[in-house]
């Protein structure tokens, strides 16, 4: 059954307003940092949000959306597939990813921001080869290496010392394109300081792979700090979508 419901006029208006506000604020933060706003991609994080919201965003000129659960994202992407909206959209997978979901994610995602271990690199590469085996050509998958900025267990990300080894594995894997680094600011630290470490890590990565210039950092509460430290991909949810519905 296909979900063709639409947002109410009021919900749509609120969404358009918040989107416009964030766009203005991102551009302003970029200029304050001496950067060109055009080099920054805002990914709207639509996790837990209904498909109607994704559709409305596309109507407002959004091309990049982010999701953090494989099953939910795959369901949304397949509901949209075959529609004009689908052609305009890139899906970014931003959550922790189990290797047994790699194939499911590879089927719809243009980018995975949470590459944090060798087994996942291998699984994502294999998932692309499997698609080719059935006569399709899997497009290259953009990969961001997720950095752990704290020692807190269970938050995902590779320890800074393991970044370059992991990067080499991505570079060697068929069908994967190393774009750069990704990080989530820790809760107990000044975001700007944390993002400064991400920028340093990005510089180290570029000494290995000069094209891997992307920095995925910055959420609703800290994107201005991320922009100041060179973020090229922001992952912004609630500041644009409004409150998330309770997790199902
Ligand atoms: C949910 C999420 C975001 C967006 O968070 P907001 O605070 O709603 O902007 C960004 N990155 C990741 C990895 C997330 O899981």
Distance 219 CA to ligand 1 centre (A): 6
Distance 134 CA to ligand 1 centre (A): 35
Distance 217 CA to ligand 1 centre (A): 10
* pLDDT at residue 32 is higher than 70: yes
Dmax (CA) for the chain in angstroms is: 50
DSSP three-state, residue 45: strand
Q: Which two tokens stand for residue 164?
A: 């370059």
Ligand 1 first shell, C-beta below 6 A: 45, 47, 68, 94-95, 184, 219-221, 235-239
> Does domain 9-241 sit in CATH 3.20.20.10?
yes
pLDDT tens-place string over residues 124-179: 999 998 766 666 667 899 999 999 999 877 778 999 999 999 999 999 999 999 99
For residues 205, 175, 146, 118, the Cα torsion angle rounded to the nearest 10 degrees is -100
pLDDT tens-place string over residues 68-125: 999 999 999 999 998 888 888 999 999 999 999 999 999 999 999 999 999 999 999 9
The best mutation among 235, 242, 247 to test binding of ligand 1, ranked by most ligand atoms within 8 Å of the C-beta, falls on 235
pLDDT tens-place string over residues 73-85: 999 999 999 888 8
**Residues 6 or more apart whose Cβ sits within 8 Å of residue 74:** 104, 105, 107, 108
Distance 184 CA to ligand 1 centre (A): 8
Q: Tell which atom from ligand 1 comes closest to the C-alpha of 238.
A: 8
Report percent pLDDT > 70 for the chain.
Answer: 95
Q: Tell which atom from ligand 1 comes closest to the C-alpha of 47.
A: 1
């Amino acid at each position: 059954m296909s979900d063709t419901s639409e947002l109410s006029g009021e919900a749509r208006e609120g969404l358009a307003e918040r989107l416009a506000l964030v766009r203005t604020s991102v551009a302003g933060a970029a200029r304050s940092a001496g950067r060109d706003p055009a080099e920054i991609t805002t990914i709207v994080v639509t996790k837990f949000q209904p498909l109607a919201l994704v559709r409305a965003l596309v109507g407002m000129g959004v091309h990049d959306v982010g999701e953090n659960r494989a099953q939910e994202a795959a369901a949304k992407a397949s509901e949209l597939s075959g529609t004009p909206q689908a052609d305009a959209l890139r899906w970014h997978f931003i959550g922790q990813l189990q290797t047994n979901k790699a194939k499911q994610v590879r089927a719809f995602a243009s980018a995975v921001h949470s590459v944090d271990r060798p087994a996942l690199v291998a699984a994502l590469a294999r998932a692309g080869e499997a698609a080719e085996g059935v006569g399709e050509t899997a497009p290259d998958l953009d990969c961001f290496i997720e950095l752990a900025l704290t020692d807190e267990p269970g938050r995902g990300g590779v320890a800074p010392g393991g970044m370059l080894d992991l990067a080499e594995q991505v570079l060697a894997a068929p069908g994967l394109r190393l774009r750069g680094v990704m990080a989530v600011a820790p809760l107990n630290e000044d975001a700007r300081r944390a993002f400064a470490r991400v920028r340093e890590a990005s510089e180290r990565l570029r000494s290995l792979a000069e094209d891997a210039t992307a920095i995925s950092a910055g959420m609703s509460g800290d994107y201005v700090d991320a922009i100041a430290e060179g973020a090229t991909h922001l992952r912004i949810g609630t500041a644009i979508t409004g409150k998330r519905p309770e997790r199902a």
